[in-house]
């Protein structure tokens, strides 16, 4: 159980375009989803936390107008990178938590974004 999927797994886009990444919890309801960015051989950097039906909470330094997050249902959250630039190229990982007293997060496989 507790499977999280991401789509697409990898995407290449041109500078200035927007890209949407989907994160789905396949066999459980995720009241909270997290979006991370991973730099090479580094820790995951938390970008934002989203709760179903409410606005996402962004970490300091993360531009909310550039990284649009929507958590429309208990099984789906989306991250849209708007007006992408080459420096946005990275590995984006989502995780989902059932909430309540559980802090366990189930991680997705990641999406590799390359902006040319």
Please state the closest distance from residue 13 (CB atom) to other proteins, in A: 17
Closest to other proteins by CB, 43 vs 60, is 43
For residue 92, give the 3-state DSSP assignment: strand
Do residues 57 and 45 make contact, with C-beta atoms less than 8 angstroms apart? Answer: no
DSSP assignment letter at 28: S
Positions in the binding site for other proteins (CB under 8 A) = 2, 9-10, 34, 36, 41-46, 91, 93, 103-107, 109-110, 112
Closest to other proteins by CB, 70 vs 91, is 91
How far is 36 from 44, CA to CA, in rounded Å? Answer: 6
Extract the tokens encoding 94: 């989502």
Closest to other proteins by CB, 14 vs 41, is 41
Please state the closest distance from residue 105 (CB atom) to other proteins, in A: 8
Closest to other proteins by CB, 28 vs 107, is 107
Q: Beta-carbon neighbour count of residue 73 at 10 Å? A: 13
Extract the tokens encoding 88: 């946005």
Please state the closest distance from residue 43 (CB atom) to other proteins, in A: 4
């Amino acid at each position: 159980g507790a499977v999280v999927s991401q789509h697409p797994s990898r995407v290449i886009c041109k500078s200035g375009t927007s890209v949407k990444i989907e994160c789905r919890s396949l066999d459980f309801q995720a009241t909270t989803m997290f979006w991370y960015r991973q730099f090479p051989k580094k820790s995951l950097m938390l970008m934002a936390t989203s709760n179903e039906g409410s606005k996402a909470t962004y970490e300091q330094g993360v531009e909310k107008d550039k990284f649009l997050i929507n958590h429309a249902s208990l099984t789906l959250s989306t991250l849209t990178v708007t007006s992408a630039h080459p420096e946005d190229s990275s590995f984006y990982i989502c995780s989902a938590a059932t909430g309540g007293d559980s802090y366990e997060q189930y991680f997705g496989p990641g999406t590799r974004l390359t902006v040319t």
